[in-house]
A = this chain, B = another copy of it.
Amino acid sequence: MAGGIGSRFWPHSRKKKPKQVLKIFGDKTLLQETVTRIEPLIAPSEILIVTTEELIGHIQKQLPDFGEDNFLVEPIGRNTAPCIGLAAQKLIKSDPDGIMVVLPADHLISDAGRFITCLEQAIETAKMDDSLVTIGITPTQPETGYGYIQYDPEDKKPTGAYAVKTFAEKPTLDTAQRFLASGDFLWNSGIFIWSIRRILSEIERSLPELYAGLMQIEALEGEGAETQFQHIYSGLRSISIDYGVMERAENVAVVKGDFNWSDIGNWAEVYRLSSKDADGNVNLDGHILIDTSNCLVDSQDRLIATVGVKDLIIINTKDAILICHRDSAQDVKRVVEHMERNQMDKYL
């Protein structure tokens, strides 16, 4: 899934250049890293990248070894349920008994080996009893930016996966602290593993309108099919697979992911995950930081000098500069909202 728009990484992220196509860490973009990471398990010919009309050009450029068949284009983003439904519908034709691994293209996972092991365990679980399987990350802090999965420690499957008791939306800090203390709540990674047949049947059961839309799309042919597809898909309700399917489904399992994982929700998280110098600064480009601590400074084409500041995120791009307190990183989306309201399209 590589269709996200991610306004919280402005000014690096833009409508046509969202988080997944940015090099947030290292030399590869998050999308390229996601593809590289699963190569030991899934052959390139079996990888399907779903993205939007708006992003497809950019995304194909980042994956030059991939051909037409590797891409599936949504006319417009409609959240994860339609995206997954559309992909499943395409995949079932070539592999009706196949297992489908759903991966967001914009997450950070630093230990690819353990990640692959977890995926193998999840695939085995899905094959064993046709579970809807997800990967849950053992929480390290009372994070309020993630959804949670409660598992049943008493109900462990032979593969090592656990039965899921319930899904919980992003909690308040109090609730997140309780979740952390309880020990049986995991972060919802948004990674899913299931048989293609099962997820389509779950969509049919829980999201009949979406299923009907997918059937209409399936039936399209001849002249005007593309326009019809755009029309039908754009009319689908925007809904997440978590809310639309997972929360209402039976026989859901979770594999505990013991790898470092982050959905890198904002610049403060990038700061948290980056290597820092003795003053706690992230300063990859040799900027001049005087009496400065715990800042992230990112600028390629202009020298930055800071004096007497702390806890700032400073991001310079070709046409815009962000200066944000680390505690306000979630509010970067308010900058984008302001620009949308004021028709400042060139910065969007």
Residues of A within 8 A of B (CB): 10-11, 288, 290-291, 299, 302-309, 312, 314, 316-325, 327-329, 331-332, 334-335, 338-339, 344, 347
Contact = CB atoms under 8 A, between A and B. Distances in A.
A10 B291 CA distance: 17
Given A290-B331, A291-B328, A309-B312, A321 B304 contact: yes
A324 B306 contact: yes
A324 B312 CA distance: 11
Given A303-B347, A307-B325, A308-B324, 6 more contacts: A290-B338, A291-B328, A302-B318, A302-B321, A309-B324, A309-B328
Contact of A305 (B302, B306, B309, B335): B335
B302 A325 contact: no
29 contacts: A11-B305, A288-B338, A290-B328, A290-B331, A290-B335, A290-B338, A291-B331, A302-B316, A302-B318, A302-B319, A303-B320, A303-B344, A304-B320, A304-B321, A304-B322, A305-B320, A305-B332, A306-B323, A307-B329, A307-B331, A307-B334, A307-B335, A308-B331, A309-B324, A309-B328, A314-B321, A314-B323, A321-B321, A323-B323
Nearest to A325: B308
Q: Interface majority SS on A: helix, strand, loop or mixed?
A: mixed
Nearest to A336: B305
A320 B325 CA distance: 21
A339 B329 CA distance: 31
A231 to B, nearest CB: 36
B290 A304 contact: no
Contacts of A312: 309, 323
Nearest to A320: B303
Nearest to A338: B288
B324 A307 contact: yes
Given A290-B334, A291-B331, A307 B319 contact: no
Contacts of A319: 302-303
B335 A288 contact: yes
Nearest to A323: B306
B323 A304 contact: yes
B288 A309 contact: no
Nearest to A304: B321
A338 B303 CA distance: 13
Nearest to A315: B305
Contacts of A347: 303
Q: Which 9 A-B pairs have the closest CB atoms?
A: A308-B328, A308-B325, A307-B324, A303-B320, A305-B335, A307-B328, A306-B323, A307-B331, A304-B321
A302 B314 CA distance: 14
